[in-house]
Amino acid sequence: MSAFRTLLRKETVQLLRSKSALATATLLPSLLLLFAPLSLLATLVDVDQKGWVSVLPANFNPPRGLVGMERDSSVIVRFMLASLVSMGGLVVPAVAASYTMVSERESRTLELLAALPVTIRQVLTAKLGVILAMSTAVTSAMLALDVAVVLRLQMASVGYALSLFPLLVAALLYSTASALLISLLARDFRTANQMGGALLGPTTVVAVWVLAFGPPGAPAVLILAAIFLAAAALALYVALRVVTFERLLR
Amino acid sequence: MRARTLGSTRGRAAVDRVTDAAHPIDVRAVVKRFGARSRPALDGASFVVKSGRRACLLGPNGAGKTTLIRILTGALAPTSGEARVFGATPTEPAWGVSRRRVGVVPQLPGMYRDLTAREYLELVRGVYERGDVDRAAQRLGLTRKHLRRSMAELSGGWQRRLTLAAALLCEPDLIVLDEPTVGLDPVAAREVIAMLREATAGRTALLCTHNLAEAEALCDDVVVLRDGRVVLDDSIEELRRRAPAHAAIGVREGAEAAVQALRELAVDARVDGARAVFLATDPEANLPPIVKALVDKGLSVFECVATPPTLEELFLKAVQTTAQDTNAHRDGEELSS
């Protein structure tokens, strides 16, 4: 356990010294989890109900998850907030995780760690663990602020607000697990970024689809969280059992 | 680390007894494939490095040397066969204890820009759970100034000293060196070899190298890998004893006269400058009668030198012999099919 703690300490020190990783870890979530939702709230909170309805077509038939949006702007607030939480969870750790793992292989510093009495699994777990912990801390704090504002404005129930936290954690887990798989498959950081981008698009579409067409309220959020967790488990299984860490040392 | 989960002191002591009794390195029929249809990187390699011996692992590029070292360090798993280090494999509880007795110098590793040399040595100490950073650094000539610098800022020679200091930090019983002087200029390489000679004294060592002079200077035993197979595994001393020495005889009458006289004695000699040269097995026993015969023939022998074969010659001979055997085997298979 001491060896693993030593690795965790090393990764923490390196992450805190990396300006680009810190910028990614604070700027992206600030944009997705603070600026975007709070701007949306500021816009919608003063919208007149008639004014809101007037922008929609007369025969507008909203999808299942957005029923009532023509009367109640808080429906769209909840939909947007859950979408942004998903995106924040998907984007924030992915770049840092891919970068730290691929750069360790590209710069051959992984050889230094492979020479020590630790397994490659311990090395990568320490790396991903630190990134996941930092991403969770930063994004959860921002989500807590959003939730406080939404509850204060009575735009969501407490149950719905709380369901956003498991969604965020599940999205972060999926993002980290898929970053691990991509890092094992990609030859370099550029390829890893391209693969990450290619995966993000369809994942975001699925997330928005579940929120829009799933059952209204917290159940859709929890279903999406379950989907992210299942995808994370699948990505981990493929990374550990099919691709394997040996790929990093070939 | 797993050994610690045994929990009891008695369990730990049992593990120590097992690992102490075993050979530092015991490789048995190891096969390693990277993919089901790929050519094996290792194809049934077997050898043993006994306690206190210093073995060099030689072989051309792609012979499987680095793969074998990675299997020995537990970074890669063999497809079949087993590689034991102090009696344990990575799947066994005693592995943690065994692995902590091994210091490894990797081949041309990258250097962290965001960690200082001291931070890296502290990391190594934390992982091995023992060792004295200042002492290890001092032994390799790394000063406080070096330790304060980023690892990537150190020159190639100092980076190599740093990796060597890291490998020696835990005072390992076995040290594994993967091409420790590759990429260094001749002066730095000579310094590193001198340090390695000191570092490997009294320890078991496995040196993987292309540099035959380095192997000859540092090792007692030689293991030659070719196409993933061990084609030679013996002590350098024994190989030298078995292989014919280069004999050179100088006579006042000239090299041609010496060659003529030697051929009359059924010795296959040739002229090399002012000497007659030939291969002589067991020179201590066979050269005195030859010299006596030349003198009896009326030649004035003023010089007789027997030079043992270099490791390079032994290596090339072993590799060429295996290549011929392999080709002959293939031809035979083609003919029979």
Enumerate domains of chain B plus CATH numbers.
Answer: 3-101+173-187+194-237 (3.40.50.300), 244-307 (3.30.70.100)
Q: How far is B245 from chain A (nearest CA, A)?
A: 40
- Give the Cα separation of A245 and A240 in Å (integer): 7
- Looking at residues B240-263, what average pLDDT do you find? 90
Q: Tell me: pLDDT of A2 over 70.
A: yes
* The token pair that represents B211 in the structure block: 């540099």
φ, ψ for residue B83, nearest 5 deg: -120, 110
DSSP H helices in chain A: 2-17, 19-29, 36-44, 49-54, 73-106, 110-114, 120-152, 158-185, 189-213, 218-237
Condensed to tens digits (0 to 9), the pLDDT of residues B272-292 reads 999 999 998 888 888 999 999
Lowest mean pLDDT among A201-205, B14-18, B60-64, B107-111: B14-18
Q: Which H or E run contains B104?
A: strand B102-105
Residues of chain B neighbouring A249 (CB-CB closer than 8 A): 70, 75-76
Q: Does A205 touch chain B (CB under 8 A)?
A: no
Q: Tell me: pLDDT of A46 over 70.
A: no
**DSSP letters spanning B276-313:** EEEEESSHHHHHHHHHHHHHHTT--EEEEEEEPPPHHH
List the single residue in B with minimal CA-CA distance to A119: B75
- Give the Cα separation of B252 and B303 in Å (integer): 9
Condensed to tens digits (0 to 9), the pLDDT of residues A219-245 reads 999 999 999 999 999 999 999 888 888
Instruction: Return the percentage of chain A with pLDDT > 90, whole number.
Output: 56
pLDDT of residue B187: 87
pLDDT of residue A217: 87
Condensed to tens digits (0 to 9), the pLDDT of residues B112-140 reads 999 999 999 999 999 999 999 999 999 89
Q: Which H or E run contains B21?
A: helix B9-21
- Give the Cα separation of A47 and A69 in Å (integer): 13
* The token pair that represents A158 in the structure block: 């407490």
Q: Do A111 and B34 touch (CB under 8 A)?
A: no
Q: Does B34 touch chain A (CB under 8 A)?
A: yes
SS3 B62: coil
Q: How confident is the model at residue A97 (pLDDT cuts 50, 70, 90)?
A: confident
Q: Per DSSP, what are the bridge partners of residue B205?
A: B54, B175
Residues 13-52 of A with CB under 8 A from B: 13-14, 17-18
Q: Per DSSP, what are the bridge partners of residue B307?
A: B246
The string over B82-99, giving b where at least 16 C-beta atoms fall within 10 Å of a residue's C-beta and e elsewhere, is bbbbbbbbbebbbbbbbb
- Give the Cα separation of B102 and B176 in Å (integer): 7
Q: How confident is the model at residue B163 (pLDDT cuts 50, 70, 90)?
A: very high
- Looking at residues B45-70, what average pLDDT do you find? 91
Sheet holding B102-105, edge to edge: B102-105, B174-178, B204-208, B54-58, B221-226, B229-235
Chain centroid to Cα A140, Å, comes to: 11
Q: Do A114 and B34 touch (CB under 8 A)?
A: no
Q: Tell me: pLDDT of B154 over 80.
A: yes
Q: How confident is the model at residue B312 (pLDDT cuts 50, 70, 90)?
A: confident
* The token pair that represents B286 in the structure block: 């066979």
The closest of A33, A161, A159, A147 to A86, measured between CA atoms, is: A33
Q: How confident is the model at residue A41 (pLDDT cuts 50, 70, 90)?
A: confident
pLDDT of residue A53: 57
Q: Do A117 and B114 touch (CB under 8 A)?
A: no
Q: Is the dihedral of CA A18, A19, A24, A28 positive or negative?
A: positive
Q: What are the CA-CA distances from residue A114 to residues A120, A244, B31, B72, B75 (Å)?
A: 7, 15, 20, 11, 6
- Give the Cα separation of A178 and A231 in Å (integer): 8
- Give the Cα separation of B255 and B257 in Å (integer): 5
Between CA A119 and CA B230, with CA B76 as vertex, the angle to 5 degrees is 145
φ, ψ for residue A123, nearest 5 deg: -60, -50
Task: Calculate Rg over the CA atoms of chain A.
Answer: 20
Between CA B81 and CA B88, with CA B82 as vertex, the angle to 5 degrees is 165
pLDDT averaged over chain A?
A: 88
Q: What are the CA-CA distances from residue B92 to residues A18, B3, B82 (Å)?
A: 38, 8, 12
List the single residue in B with minimal CA-CA distance to A109: B110
Q: How far is B112 from chain A (nearest CA, A)?
A: 7
Q: Which H or E run contains B233?
A: strand B229-235
Q: What are the CA-CA distances from residue B278 to residues B201, B263, B264, B275 (Å)?
A: 36, 10, 14, 10
- Residue position matching structure tokens 């991403």: A135
Lowest mean pLDDT among B72-81, B147-156, B189-198, B292-301: B189-198
- Give the Cα separation of B289 and B301 in Å (integer): 13
3-class SS string, A141-192: HHHHHHHHHHHHCCCCCHHHHHHHHHHHHHHHHHHHHHHHHHHHHCCCHHHH
pLDDT of residue A37: 92
Q: Is the dihedral of CA A183, A186, A188, A189 positive or negative?
A: negative
- Give the Cα separation of B16 and B3 in Å (integer): 10
**Measured between CB atoms, which of B76, B112, B120 is closest to A249?**
B76
**DSSP letters spanning B154-200:** S-HHHHHHHHHHHHHTT--SEEEEESTTTT--HHHHHHHHHHHHHHH
The closest of B139, B157, B137 to B148, measured between CA atoms, is: B137
Q: Do A115 and B104 touch (CB under 8 A)?
A: yes
Contact B208, B56 (CB under 8 A): yes
The closest of B43, B51, B88 to B68, measured between CA atoms, is: B43
pLDDT of residue B41: 92
Between CA B231 and CA B238, with CA B235 as vertex, the angle to 5 degrees is 105
Q: Do B123 and A249 touch (CB under 8 A)?
A: no
**Number of residues assigned to chain B:** 337
Q: How confident is the model at residue B323 (pLDDT cuts 50, 70, 90)?
A: low
* The token pair that represents A125 in the structure block: 């777990």
- Give the Cα separation of B325 and B320 in Å (integer): 9
Q: What are the CA-CA distances from residue A137 to residues A7, A89, A126, A132 (Å)?
A: 20, 12, 16, 8
Condensed to tens digits (0 to 9), the pLDDT of residues A145-168 reads 999 999 998 889 999 999 999 999
φ, ψ for residue A153, nearest 5 deg: -85, 0
Q: Is the dihedral of CA B74, B77, B78, B82 positive or negative?
A: positive
Residues 119-158 of B with CB under 8 A from A: 119-120, 123-124, 126-129
Lowest mean pLDDT among B6-10, B46-50, B309-313, B324-328: B6-10
